[in-house]
Amino acid sequence: MAILQRLPAPDPKALEARGRAISDHFVTRMEPIINILEAKQIPGVRENTNDKTWLTDRNAKAEDSEFLSDAMKGRPSFLARIDDDFRALGRVIWDERAVSAAADLLLPLLDVSERTCFGYYGHQYRTMQYAEILLNKRSMSNRSMTDAEQAAQLLGALMHDIGKAAVPGEVLRIKGKLSDPEKELVNLHPSHGKSILLAAFASLAEAGTHIAYGDVIIDIAFSHHERYGDTGGYPLGIRGTEISVGARITGFCDAMDSMTTNRIYDRHPKTFKQAKIEAVRKLNKHFNGTIVVDFLRAAKTNEVTKIILDIIKSAGAMPEQAPQRDLIQSK
C-alpha cells in the first residue's frame, strides 16, 4: 500500500515480544497523559486503565470470560504493530522529536480505548488498514494527495476512537439494547476524542513540539460518525461535503470493521460478502457513494481481497473466501 507497505514485513515472534515489553510498562506510560487529561477536566480515563476493570469481571459468565481471553490474545502483536506504524506515519509529517513525544502520549491511550470496547483487540488498527486500501485506490484513480496528507488521514483513522478511553467501560460492554442515557454516554466519544487530542497536542506545543496536521487528525476523531446522506449522525448532524473526506473514509472503514468483528455484544459478525451488501445498501445514505465504490473496486483484485480477509480473520471472524464481484456493476 502507499506508505505502510514500504515497511519490511515484521517477524511475528519479534512483534509479540516487543508488544509484551510495551505492555509491561503500561502503567508508567499512562500516568503522564492521565495527569494532562485530569488537568483539562477530561474524566474517566484513569478508571479505564485498571486491568481488573477490563480483563477480569468477577461477575462475568464463563462464556464471556473465554471470549475476553480469546479477544485479547492478539494484543501484544497489535501493540507492536501500532507502535511501528504510528511512528512510520509520524515520520512522514513530523520530525523525530515530535514523533517520539506524540507516541509517548497517544499510544497508551490507544491501548486503553481498544481494551475498553471488549471486541477483538485492534479495531482502530484494522480501520486504518481499510483506510489505506481506500487511499491507495483513490490515488490510482487520480484523486491523489501528498504523502503527508495520506499519513495524516491514516493517523486520524488509527486514533478515531481514542475518545472511548474516556467512556465508562461498563457502558461500552453492555450486551443488550442501550438506554437513551447510555447511548448519550457512548455518543460522546467523538467529543472526548477531540478533547483528548486537543489536550495532548496543546501539551506538546507547550513543550516546544508542534504537531503538523493536528487539525486533520482531530477532525477525523470528531466527525467519523456523521452520516453522508442525512443529518442522523453525531455529534453535529452535518452531512455531505460538510464532512471532510478523511472523516468520510474513516466512517466507512470503521463500519466495515465493526460489521465483521467478533464482539462481546455481537458474536455473529457479518461475512465479507454480507458487509459489502450492507455497504451498498447504505450507499449515499450513511456512506459517501464514491468511497464505497472505490473500496469495492479495490476489493476485486486478488491482492486486496487477501489483505481484507486477513484483516477480518484478525478480528476473530471467519470470512468467506470468494469475493462477490457483481455488486458495483450498476454503479
190 has pLDDT over 90: yes
Lowest-confidence pick of 74-78, 101-105, 262-266, 303-307: 262-266
Q: How far is CA 140 from CA 133, 145, 156, in A?
A: 11, 11, 21
What is the arithmetic mean of pLDDT over 81-94? 95
What is the arithmetic mean of pLDDT over 169-190? 90
Q: How many other CB atoms are there within 10 angstroms of residue 72's CB atom?
A: 17
User: pTM of the predicted model, to two decimals?
Assistant: 0.92
Instruction: Count the domains in the chain.
Output: 1
What is the arithmetic mean of pLDDT over 44-49? 87
For residues 284 and 228, the answer to whether their CB atoms sit within 8 Å is yes
What is the arithmetic mean of pLDDT over 167-175? 84
Determine the pLDDT at residue 132.
95
Most confident of the ranges 17-31, 201-215, 309-323? 201-215
Determine the pLDDT at residue 326.
37
C-alpha neighbours within 13 Å on the C-beta side of residue 94: 26
**Cis? peptide before 190, omega within 30° of 0:** no
Determine the pLDDT at residue 324.
41
Q: Which domain holds residue 18?
A: 4-314
Quick: pLDDT tens for 99-156.
Answer: 999 999 999 999 999 988 778 899 999 999 999 999 998 887 666 789 999 999 999 9
Angle (deg, nearest 10), helices 147-158 and 214-223: 40
**Mean pLDDT over the full length of the chain:** 88
Q: Is residue 304 part of a domain?
A: yes
pLDDT band at 321 (very low <50, low <70, confident <90, very high): very low
Q: Is residue 290 part of a domain?
A: yes
What CATH number corresponds to the domain at position 50?
1.10.3210.10
Q: How many other CB atoms are there within 10 angstroms of residue 235's CB atom?
A: 15
For residues 123 and 114, the answer to whether their CB atoms sit within 8 Å is yes
Q: Could you tell me how many residues make up the chain?
A: 331
Determine the pLDDT at residue 97.
95
pLDDT band at 323 (very low <50, low <70, confident <90, very high): very low
Percent of the chain at pLDDT exceeding 90: 69
3-state secondary structure of 178: coil
For residues 134 and 250, the answer to whether their CB atoms sit within 8 Å is no
Q: Is residue 91 part of a domain?
A: yes
Q: How is residue 8 annotated by DSSP?
A: P
314 has pLDDT over 80: yes
- CA pair distance 253, 270, nearest whole angstrom: 14
Q: Is residue 252 part of a domain?
A: yes
322 has pLDDT over 50: no
Determine the pLDDT at residue 207.
94
Q: What are phi and psi of 303, to 5 degrees?
A: -60, -50
Most confident of the ranges 32-41, 51-60, 312-321? 32-41
- CA pair distance 222, 214, nearest whole angstrom: 12
Q: Is residue 34 part of a domain?
A: yes
Q: Is residue 326 part of a domain?
A: no
Quick: pLDDT tens for 47-77.
Answer: 888 765 555 454 556 677 788 888 888 999 9
Quick: pLDDT tens for 212-228.
Answer: 999 999 999 999 999 99
Q: Is residue 118 part of a domain?
A: yes
279 has pLDDT over 50: yes
